[in-house]
Amino acid sequence: MASYTILGVFIAYLLVLLGLGLWGRRASHSVAGYYLAGKKLPSWVIAFSSNATGESGWLLLGLTGMGYLVGIHALWVVLGEVLGVTLGWVLVARPFKVYTDRYGAITVPDFLVARFRDKRHGLRFMSVFIILSMVVAYLAAQLVATGKAFETFLGMSYAGGVVLGAAITLFYTTVGGFKAVAYTDLVQGVLMAAGLTVLAVVGIGGAGGWLPLMDQLRAIDPALLMPMGEHGLSTPGVISALGFVGVGLAFLGVPQLLTRFMAAKDEQEIVSGSLIAVICIIIFDLGAVFAGMAGRALFPGLDDPETVMPLMSTDLFPAFLTGIFVVVVLGAIMSTVDSLLILASSAVVRDLVQKVFRPDFSELRLSRYGQVTTVLLGLFAIPFALAEVQVIFWFVLFAWSGLATAFAPVVLCALFWKRTTLAGALAGMAGGFLTTVIWVVAFKAQFYDLYEMLPGFFVGGALTILVSLFTKPPEGADEEFDSVKRVVGPAFGRRTVN
């Protein structure tokens, strides 16, 4: 059983989360308050929240496990994510913020419907279907990570860990809404950055230093130090590297990250938060990969590479610091679970109930519906998690790519090509999503396991453009596009027009 010290640290952290949930409750009595914290978040909150949400248990357990399994080859993931985060904040964030503020948008489907003048709600229905199907898979993978963490750190049963982790996250998310989610993400993001840095440094030191670590990894398997992995500079090696880089494409338009831009107080907060976000992702990813590599030297032969981070934490640190690492792992997982719950809940309550079926409902009533929906979605995901998906890394990447390929190409075209049409957006969204699913089911194994993000993103973008070329753009979109362009100005610049 875990020591009282570890349990004490965990309980203290739990109280912080519950306190933030109760504190955020005051801002959760309207739809915009519950789902966007009233659009009042400062730069440092949205920066840490976006990265903490994008990384999750995938970072702490999945990416450290990938560093353990393939070594240097995993640095292609780092490159992809750093590029994706940088381009997302430089190119996407400000024009998206300007558009959504003009529309009064609360969700990404809100933006798409207004941008393409979709009076029949086709984009809403398709968006809700895609979000709910992928979020359930994504939530299940995160709860699997929760169960593994509780089992490894605290000696709890796997099933008990899944249920306890879900209960904690459901409480502060349901009660505090997006404000509680964003500020808990801030706390969790700071802990993740510090924890991964310390773990990597201590792990490398435990292996004798950087050069001795390289020697040990070379002795275990020379492929661990090859940039293209075990396949070398060959077709499978290049495809694997491209797939890892492709992970970063999602940062250009996955809905749970775009929501952070909408929640910012103003455009200048996005400008200020961009550098914080980029530095944060570099620390996250390098810390995870290097910690995994050190773990391979210190604990060779693990049956499940995704347990290397908890194992290093318990073996290399005293009980108090182990307790901190318990918090780091759980915080990483919860920072994604809470955001996914809010995303799916908003799709149901805002995009279906309020905008399609019952626009007459009061703001307070809708916010209450949002709380109930959040709970139901969390409960629905628990049975899937109890089935225990073994490989968190790949399972999360599938859900991540499903959301990204449906939304990112369409959002990019909407922001940067005035000729984009409603028909093009519908075709691109459906095509990107279906390509991702079909690729995994029917083609991936035949094409050297090429990551589904790449064909899905390509098809989604190509269909959006091709169909738009043969259909008519929405009325007034041309003038609106030029107006937004004048407001945004150059990347990282200030507003020029009110």
Question: By CB neighbour count within 10 A (0-12 exposed, 13-18 middle, 19+ buried), where does 120 fall?
Answer: exposed
Give the type of residue at 313.
Answer: S
Residue 41, SS3 per DSSP? strand
pLDDT at 497: 43
89: CB partners within 8 A, 6+ apart? 270, 273, 274, 277, 278
- pLDDT for res 1: 46
Give the pLDDT of residue 383: 79
| Listed residue (33, 81, 74) closest to 283, CA to CA | 81
Contact of 355 with 124, CB cutoff 8 Å? yes
Q: What DSSP designation does 299 have?
A: S
What average pLDDT does the segment 445-454 reach?
81
Residues 349/366, Cβ–Cβ less than 8 Å: yes
The DSSP bridge partners found for residue 41 are: 264
Tokens of 151: 């089992």
Sequence-distant (6+) residues with CB within 8 A of 259 are 35, 36, 107, 108, 178, 339, 342, 343, 346
Q: What is the pLDDT of residue 471?
A: 94
pLDDT at 491: 55
pLDDT digits (tens, 9 = 90+) for 374-423: 888 888 878 777 765 554 545 666 777 888 999 999 999 999 999 999 99
Structural domains for the chain: 4-392 (1.20.1730.10)
Collapsed DSSP state (helix, strand, coil) of residue 1: coil
Residue 367 identity: S
Evaluate if residue 195 carries a pLDDT over 50.
yes
pLDDT of residue 389: 53
* Burial letters 476-493, b for 16+ CB under 10 A, else e: ebeebbeebeebbeeeee
- Quote the CA–CA distance of 234 and 298 in Å, as a whole number: 30
Contact 261, 43 (CB under 8 A): no
Give the number of other Cβ atoms within 10 Å of residue 332's Cβ: 32
% pLDDT > 90, the chain: 28
Cβ–Cβ under 8 Å, residues 450 and 237: no
Residue 111 has a pLDDT of: 93
Average pLDDT over residues 428-450: 87
Rounded to a whole number of angstroms, the CA Rg of the chain reads: 22
Mean pLDDT computed over 123-149: 82
Comparing C-alpha atoms, which of 310, 259, 262, 325 is closest to residue 54? 259
Q: What is the pTM of this model?
A: 0.85
Q: 292 near 63, Cβ under 8 Å? A: yes
Closest CA to 46 of 330, 271, 327: 271
Reference 264, options 256, 273, 277, 276; nearest CA is: 273
Q: How far apart are CA 181 and CA 150, in angstroms?
A: 21
Distance, CA of 271 to CA of 48 (rounded, Å): 14
pLDDT of residue 298: 92
Share of the chain above pLDDT 70, in %: 93
Would you call 360 helix, strand, or coil by DSSP?
coil
Give the confidence band of 484 by pLDDT, cuts at 50, 70, 90.
Answer: confident
CB 280 within 8 A of CB 55: no
Res. 498: pLDDT tops 60: no
Contact 21, 172 (CB under 8 A): yes
Q: What is the per-residue pLDDT for 493?
A: 47
State the chain's mean pLDDT as an integer: 84
**Phi–psi pair at 140, nearest 5 degrees:** -60, -45
* CA nearest neighbour of 108 among 455, 430, 410: 410
Q: Check if the beta carbon of residue 200 is closer than 8 Å to that of residue 213.
A: no
Query: So what's the pLDDT on residue 492?
Result: 43
**pLDDT band at residue 162 under the 50/70/90 scheme:** confident
* pLDDT (0 to 100) of residue 388: 57
- End-to-end CA distance of the chain: give it in Å, rounded: 60
pLDDT of 470 reads: 94
- The predicted model gives 329-358 an average pLDDT of 80
pLDDT per position as a tens digit, 304-324: 887 788 888 888 888 788 888
What is the rounded CA–CA span in Å between residue 289 and residue 247?
A: 15
**Measured between alpha carbons, how far is residue 265 from residues 31, 33, 180, 270, 350 in Å?**
17, 13, 16, 9, 21
Q: Specify the 3-state DSSP secondary structure of 384.
A: helix
Rounded to an integer, the average pLDDT of 259-283 is 88
